[in-house]
Amino acid sequence: MRILTGDTELLDALKQGESHAFTEVYGMFYKPLCYFAEKITGNSSHAEDIATESFVKLLQKNPDFETLPHLKSFLYTTTKNACYDLLRMQKRHEQTHSEIKYLADISEEETEQAVIMAEVLQAIYEAIDQLPDKYKTVLKLALIEGMNNDEIVVQTGMAYQTVRNHKSEATKLLRISLFKNGSISSVVLFCSLLYIGEKLQ
C-alpha cells in the first residue's frame, strides 16, 4: 500500500479503485456527514444510514474528481438530497406539497449552519490526526468522545496529571495546526477555536 502524500495522490488512488484511498476519504468525511445529516433530519440513526449511503453512491460513481472540494461537494450534496427525500417521505401523508416545500426551504437556511459545523468538526479531526500519538489519544477521547479527565484516566490507564498535561499541550498544538491550515475559511477557524474552548474548558 503506497503512502498518499497529498490531495492529488488521494484522488488519483480513489479513481484507480484503491481501497485505502476510499478508507481515508471515509475517515475524513463520515463523522462530519453524520452530524450534517442529523442536523437536517433530527435523527442520528437515519443520519448514519444516509451518510453511509452517500459513500455507497461515491463507490458506484466513477470517482473522477479534480479537487478534494469537488469530492466534498458531491458528498454533502448527496447527503443533503437524501435528507430532504426522507423528510418529504415522512411528511407526505401529513402536509400538502406546498407545505413540504416550505419545510425544505426552512431546512435549506439551517443547512448552511450545519455545513459550517460539519466543516469545523472535519478541520478538528484532521488536525488531531497530525498530532503525536500520545496527544492524539487524549484529545480524541476529550473532544470526540466527550470524556472528562477522570474518564480518560480509566480508559487509558494514564496518571491524572499526565492526562492534564497531554490535554494542555495537545490543545496548544491543535490550535497552532488550525491557524496554519490555509485551506479552511476564517469562519471555520473561528468556530473551531470556539468549539475547542467550550469542549475543553
Name 42's Cβ contacts closer than 8 Å, sequence gap at least 6.
none
149 contact partners, CB below 8 Å, separation of at least 6: 160, 163, 164, 167
Is 201 domain-assigned?
A: yes
CA 56 to chain centroid: 17
pLDDT at 189 over 90: no
Cell of 44: 442520528
C-alpha cell, 85: 427525500
Question: Which band of pLDDT confidence, cut at 50, 70 and 90, is reported for residue 68?
Answer: confident
Domain-embedded: residue 124: no
Tell whether the model's pLDDT for residue 101 goes beyond 70. no
Q: With contact defined as beta carbons under 8 Å apart, do 131 and 173 qualify?
A: yes
Q: Name the residue type at position 102.
A: Y
Q: How many CA atoms lie within 13 A of 46 on its CB side?
A: 18
For residues 186 and 138, the model is more confident at 138
Could you tell me if residue 122 is inside a domain? no
- 70, 87, 115: which is the final residue of a domain? 115
Q: What range does the domain containing 189 cover?
A: 130-201
Among the candidates 115, 142, 167, a domain finishes at 115
What pLDDT is stored for residue 108 in this prediction? 58
DSSP 93: T
How far CA 140 is from CA of 44, 94, 133, 146, 168, in Å, comes to: 20, 42, 10, 8, 13
CATH of the domain at 169: 1.10.10
Predicted confidence at residue 3, as pLDDT, reads: 45
Residue with the bigger pLDDT between 53 and 188: it is 53
The whole-number pLDDT of residue 79 equals 93
| Average pLDDT along the chain | 82
Number of domains composing the chain? 2
At residue 92, the pLDDT reads: 63
pLDDT at 113 over 80: no
In this structure, the answer to whether residues 73 and 168 fall within a common structural domain is: no
Residues 98 and 2 in one domain: yes
Q: What's the average model confidence in pLDDT over 64-71?
A: 86
Tell me the pTM: 0.65
Is 139 found in the same domain as 49? no
**For residues 159-171, average pLDDT:** 92
- What tens digit of pLDDT does each residue of 73-82 get? 899 999 989 9
Above 80 in pLDDT, residue 104?
no
